[in-house]
């Protein structure tokens, strides 16, 4: 209950103003608890922040891997689903998501967090790579470097959510996502639409 209020307030403020510009007093006020109460639940500002990032990262990762592991659906539907779910998740958890996109320099300094986020990103990337590798191996897509394919897709996915979170862009429509996948599938120089 109280934990919930605190985490939500903290996520909101940290993502909007960054680690150093968010004061414990602000969090307490927004969570409608006393300053001291924060320390009943989290040993320090650091710990609160780390908790937040870790919880968020884990959820995000689960979500993505869930989509990647779906069986019996074409690669294109899978990619479509990943983008859609990421967009939905990020849209609904803007403040959490912000923390995960590495926009907070505090993360860089705290090697524990840095490692954590690095690994999370790496794992997601590896999972994507595997999917592409399998598609190459089973000749579902053109032969080529699965890592490059993964990097392209990862880049697009990141850009799509970043632009929402960072620059306040609109949530891309299902249609738009479909176009992205379509383009990725047949290339810019495709002849037929």
Q: Which does 185 bind (CB under 5 to 8 A by kind): a copy of itself, DNA, none?
A: a copy of itself
State yes or no: residue 36 binds DNA (CB under 7 A). Answer: yes
148 phi, psi to nearest 5 deg:
-65, -45
Among 19, 39, 41, 91, binds a copy of itself (CB under 8 A): 19
Lookup result for tokens 């320099």 = 105
Q: Are 72 and 82 in contact (CB under 8 A)?
A: no
State yes or no: residue 23 binds a copy of itself (CB under 8 A). Answer: no
State yes or no: residue 4 binds DNA (CB under 7 A). Answer: no
Q: Which does 35 bind (CB under 5 to 8 A by kind): a copy of itself, DNA, none?
A: DNA
Could you tell me which residues come within 8 angstroms of residue 82 by beta carbon, excluding any fewer than 6 positions away?
Answer: 64, 67, 68, 157
State yes or no: residue 23 binds DNA (CB under 7 A). Answer: yes
Q: Distance (Å, rounded) from C-alpha 82 to C-alpha 65?
A: 9
State yes or no: residue 25 binds DNA (CB under 7 A). Answer: yes
Q: How far is the CB of 132 from a copy of itself (least distance, A)?
A: 8
**Per-residue binding letters, 48-87, with a copy of itself (x by CB under 8 A):** ----------------------------------------
CA 127 to chain centre: 14
Q: Distance (Å, rounded) from C-alpha 170 to C-alpha 153?
A: 20
Q: Are 177 and 86 in contact (CB under 8 A)?
A: no
Q: Distance (Å, rounded) from C-alpha 24 to C-alpha 73?
A: 47
Q: 40 or 137: whose CB is closer to DNA?
A: 40
DSSP H or E segment with residue 108: helix 105-109
Q: Footprint of a copy of itself on residues 127-146 (CB under 8 A)?
A: 135, 141-145
Helical axes 75-92 vs 174-186, angle rounded to 10°: 140
Q: Which does 109 bind (CB under 5 to 8 A by kind): DNA, a copy of itself, none?
A: a copy of itself
Residues that bind DNA (CB under 7 A): 2, 20, 22-25, 28, 33-37, 39-40, 44-46
Residues that bind a copy of itself (CB under 8 A): 16-21, 102-106, 108-109, 118, 121, 135, 141-145, 148-149, 151-152, 154-160, 162-163, 166-167, 176, 179-180, 183-191, 193
């Amino acid at each position: 209950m109280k934990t919930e209020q605190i985490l939500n307030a903290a996520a909101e403020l940290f993502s909007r103003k960054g680690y150093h510009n968010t004061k414990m007093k602000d969090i307490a006020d927004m969570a409608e608890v006393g300053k001291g109460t924060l320390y009943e639940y989290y040993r320090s500002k650091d710990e609160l922040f780390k908790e937040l990032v870790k919880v968020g990262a884990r959820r995000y990762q689960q979500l993505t891997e869930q989509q990647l592991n779906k069986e019996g659906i074409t690669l294109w539907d899978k990619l479509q689903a990943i983008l859609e779910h990421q967009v939905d998740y990020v849209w609904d958890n803007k403040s959490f998501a912000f923390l995960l996109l590495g926009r907070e320099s505090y993360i860089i300094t705290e090697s524990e967090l840095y490692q954590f986020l690095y690994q999370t990103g790496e794992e997601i990337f590896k999972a994507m790579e595997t999917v592409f590798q399998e598609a190459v191996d089973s000749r579902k897509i053109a032969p080529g470097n699965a890592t490059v394919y993964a990097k392209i897709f990862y880049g697009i996915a990141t850009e799509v959510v970043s632009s929402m979170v960072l620059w306040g862009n609109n949530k891309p429509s299902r249609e738009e996502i479909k176009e992205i996948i379509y383009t990725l599938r047949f290339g810019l120089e495709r002849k037929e639409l």
